[in-house]
Copies of this chain bind each other. A is one copy, B any other.
Amino acid sequence: MAATTNGSANFNETPERFVNESTVAYGSTTIDLENAELNGGVLLKTLYLSIDPHMRIWMDATSTSTGSGYELGKPIWGIGMALALRSEKNDVREGDIVYVQMYPFQEYNILSADIPMRVIHPEPGIPLSAYVNILGMPGQTAFYGLELIGSPKAGETIYVSAGAGTVGSIVAQLAKVKGLKVIASAGSSDKVEAMKRMGVDVAFNYKTDDVADVLAKEGPIDIYWDHIGGPQLEAAIGACNLYARIIVCGALLAFNKAPPHHVKNLAEILFKRLRVQGFMYWEAEVEVEGHSNNPVKFINALTSLVKSGQIKWTEQVFHGIKSANKAIATALTGGNTGKVVIKVADP
């Protein structure tokens, strides 16, 4: 029995407010890759781990919205991509690359047969990391949110908060492809420049320009993609056209336990007949695709846009499972310059 070290990213400390480098800590066990019992499941070698904002929720013991959270001293989980080393599961073969939504952050995992995983079929010319990015959850979030709630029509105007972020930048580009006028904001001049390069019509820094002023000048808006809540939500409601749709995709201020902002114009939800809706991508997937874990409409729509270069994406790669604490602290405090992924190993 050859024992191989199995490094993991363990939940180390419940963050008071902001995630930091002590929130997660490296740990390790060992695993016998050749002989470990699979019990009908799959032995996986981790390739990429994805760090996403909604992981913040699972660090909060009081969270009731998504089931149980992370356990102290145990590996955290999130979206992962892995190579099947051995499989006793029907639809996964040795050598397949699988995408798993609830993947423990370890170098190796044995997942039982009932855990949903999807075999991905990488297209020539598209790097593997794209499948945890624009062709994974962030892309699905943007695509399903627009399809399900946004109903964008050519000629309409959308405002995207956190428009330089992973999801926001995909939303902005998808909206451009659909013929919308795109207004987007971010919190630094670098990000404003990045948004301009990706084709945003009106890119601005919400720290130096007043959101309500910009929207009064460049709006009214038909769709607001909300990553933030609070004052941006209030400004957006004020700038909404009749029948506008507000897609509530994030609530960074609440994630980080900022004191709630007093949104004073909620009555406009009635006066303007607004639809304000929160969603999580895995549920939206079921509604748009008609089933889970097989995002056909999404893959078809996005793959060609990616191959033709009409939509670009960004990434910031950390290397090795030991970098997880830094990767998480960077991504969840907005210090990243692209979507954060951890490259754990080559296939």
Give the interface of A toward B (CB within 8 A).
Answer: 57, 63-66, 229, 233, 242, 248-251, 253-254, 260, 262-280, 283
Contacts and interface: CB of A to CB of B under 8 A. Distances in A.
Contacts of A251: 266-267, 269-271
Nearest to A258: B267
**Counting chain B CB atoms within 10 Å of each CB, which of A263, A270, A276, A279 scores highest?**
A270
Contacts of A276: 269, 275-277
Nearest to A273: B278
A263 B229 CA distance: 12
A343 to B, nearest CB: 30
Contacts of A268: 65
Query: Secondary structure of the A side of the interface?
Result: loop
A337 to B, nearest CB: 25
Nearest to A267: B254
Closest 8 CB pairs of A and B: A254-B267, A65-B271, A270-B278, A251-B267, A262-B262, A276-B276, A269-B278, A260-B264
A279 B64 CA distance: 30
Given A270-B278, A273-B278, A275-B278, 8 more contacts: A64-B271, A229-B266, A249-B270, A269-B276, A273-B277, A274-B277, A276-B276, A276-B277
A249 B242 CA distance: 15
Contacts of A267: 229, 251, 253-254, 260
A65 B265 CA distance: 13
A279 B262 CA distance: 23
B269 A266 contact: no
Given A65-B242, A242-B65, A271 B278 contact: yes
Contact of A266 (B263, B275, B280): B263
28 contacts: A65-B242, A65-B268, A65-B272, A66-B271, A229-B266, A229-B270, A250-B270, A253-B267, A254-B267, A254-B270, A260-B262, A260-B265, A262-B262, A263-B266, A270-B278, A270-B279, A271-B278, A273-B277, A273-B278, A273-B279, A273-B283, A274-B278, A275-B276, A275-B277, A275-B278, A276-B276, A276-B277, A277-B277
A311 B183 CA distance: 49
Contacts of A265: 260
B57 A271 contact: yes
A267 B63 CA distance: 12
